[in-house]
Amino acid sequence: METYGLESLGIVNPSAVYRNLTPAKLVEKALCRGEGKLSATGALCVTTGKYTGRSPDDKFIVDSKGVHNDIAWGKVNVPTTQEVFDALYEKMVAYLQNREIFIFDGYAGADPKYTKAFRIVNELASQNLFIHQLLLRPTEEQLKSYVPDFTIIAAPGFKCVPERDHTHSEAAIMIDYEKKLVLIAGSQYSGEIKKSVFSVMNYLMPKQGVFPMHCSANIGEAGDSAIFFGLSGTGKTTLSADPNRKLIGDDEHGWADDSVFNFEGGCYAKCIDLTEEREPEIYRAIKFGSLVENVIIDEETRQADYADGSLTENTRVGYPVDYIPNAAIPGIGGTPKTVIFLTADAYGVMPPISKLNAKQAQYYFVSGFTSKLAGTERGITSPVPTFSTCFGAPFMPLDPSVYAEMLEKKVQQSGANVYLVNTGWCGNSGKRMNLKYTRAMVTAALNGELEKAQFVTDPYFGVQVPTSCPGVPDEQMIPAKQWGDDQAGYEKKAKELAHSFVENFKKYTHMPADVVAAGPKAE
Ligand SMILES: Nc1ncnc2c1ncn2[C@@H]1O[C@H](COP(=O)(O)OP(=O)(O)O)[C@@H](O)[C@H]1O
Ligand SMILES: C=C(OP(=O)(O)O)C(=O)O
Ligand SMILES: [Mn+2]
């Protein structure tokens, strides 16, 4: 039996080994193995069990000599020992004996100068389909000479024993940067696999002068690229799927000297409350070849009920980027002309859109203010305001200053306009920003229309707020106007948030004074 070098990983005696099966074959395998069902539109639908979102508390990095001084150890990058990693590794490969193994040999990084080869070893055919669609797919020719740079072993059926395995729960995500190995045990949420690739790229790319970013990216008709930074649920995927622009990618990109490029070859969209009317491109991407997680499907008709969040609010679909009409293949564009920071403000006081100067751009990037939205991380059930540096703290192994300095340099070199867009709450209606208005504001920022508006300075955050925007009622533009009679409530919340910004920024002790001064003032 051809085993494609699995022995070198210590994986012996598999019952079968499949490498880079086509999506059609993977769907067949998954159905035969009882991993899921087909939806009425042909998507493979699975439920992922206990873990339906990322599990930050279960993530560890091996504290080995070679990386000890590189990693920004702390609450996000939690150290574990080589012994703990090696012991778990041995148990996982033993667990994989006598099983069918699915290998996907693929790539991350669409710009050939920076491509890295990722071998993914899956216990499940459905997860192999997911990562096949999410990463860059190799050609037959590339497969012949394929040598992985990094290997990820994903065995959701292997449950850790915390006392024995020195883990936090039955799930564990352990990265060993020196051995170039990632272990994912106990969790079937496929987001763990793609975000592990991202974490590794965030470690490797700065060494090659590339700024790795938790952002989506697309290209306008004039060839102008735009990027949208944002923590989970803030709208990267939704807002980058724009019929008038070519999609580069929805989540993970690199900014090199002369390009912005996708790390991936697919997208991972939220399905909760999805409608064809509001998000037609994503809705129509849910078809044969897509992998759907935790959406409730009718037993008879196999129709998906996107409104049903009974398993989780974080229902998901993974599909190749070319399922979105007009995708840029390969996923490469010129350096960005527009940079957008997406934030979901649960205080309801940040302007729906505002323009930032260079120092404010640095300040707001390092702060990474947003809300964690329900479901994406374990234990989050309602919006929780958070400061997630670089809009992606969970995925950044290096010190934030590494990424922040790259942002500063890249924005300065490109002369890009930087906007802050609040896709969360503005005012006291309790309702999230209307997607139609957010889209109109983003469009106006991208096509230059917004620059024609009059701007006023926000009284609390100091950012420049346009007072009008095509397609949006004027009163929607100004936070105070969204609070009606309750101006005292607005002031209280705005002051509270401004104060949180100042408190949060105190931990950045090496920031230049002019960047600190660019933030809100605590009164
Ligand atoms: N004003 C808005 N802007 C963007 N997304 C919104 C807005 N209002 C509601 N949403 C919903 O919020 C979610 C945004 O999620 P997504 O685009 O997947 O975020 P990300 O890719 O950053 O994790 C989608 O389900 C979208 O329908
Ligand atoms: C998949 C994820 O990313 P995002 O919500 O940014 O798409 C995640 O955070 O688990
Ligand atoms: Mn997304």
Q: What DSSP letter does each residue of 24-70 carry, written as one string?
A: HHHHHHHHHTTS-EE-TTS-EEE--TT--SB-GGGEEEE--HHHHTT
**Nearest listed ligand to the Cα of residue 238:** 1
Token code pair at residue 96: 């994989």
195 is in an annotated binding site: yes
- Do the Cβ atoms of 194 and 391 come closer than 8 Å? no
- pLDDT of 489 reads 96
- pLDDT of 348 reads 95
Atom number in ligand 1 closest to CA 278: 27
Q: CA 300 → CA 33, 39, 168, 303, distances in Å?
A: 20, 10, 40, 8
Beta-strand (E) ranges in 140-259? 150-155, 172-176, 181-185, 211-219, 225-229, 246-249, 252-255
How many helices and strands, by DSSP H and E, does the chain display?
14, 28
ipTM over 0.95: yes
Long-range contacts of 399-405 (CB under 8 A, 24+ apart): 399/72, 400/72, 400/366, 400/508, 401/508, 401/510, 402/206, 403/202, 403/206, 403/211, 403/212, 404/362, 404/365, 404/366
Mutation choice for ligand 1 from 194, 214, 232, 234, CB with most ligand atoms inside 8 A? 234
Domains of the chain: 13-33+52-208 (3.40.449.10), 211-267+331-517 (3.90.228.20), 268-323 (2.170.8.10)
- pLDDT of 256 reads 98
> Which residues lie below 8 Å from residue 448, measured CB to CB, with a gap of 6+?
none
- pLDDT of 259 reads 96
- pLDDT of 12 reads 97
- pLDDT of 523 reads 67
Q: 25 catalytic, yes or no?
A: no
251 is in an annotated binding site: yes
Q: How many residues does the structure list for the chain?
A: 523
Q: 65 catalytic, yes or no?
A: no
The tens digit of pLDDT for each residue in 14-56 reads 999 999 999 999 999 999 999 999 999 999 999 999 999 999 9
Which residues does the chain have with pLDDT short of 50? none
Residue 417 buriedness (CB in 10 A; 0-12 / 13-18 / 19+): buried
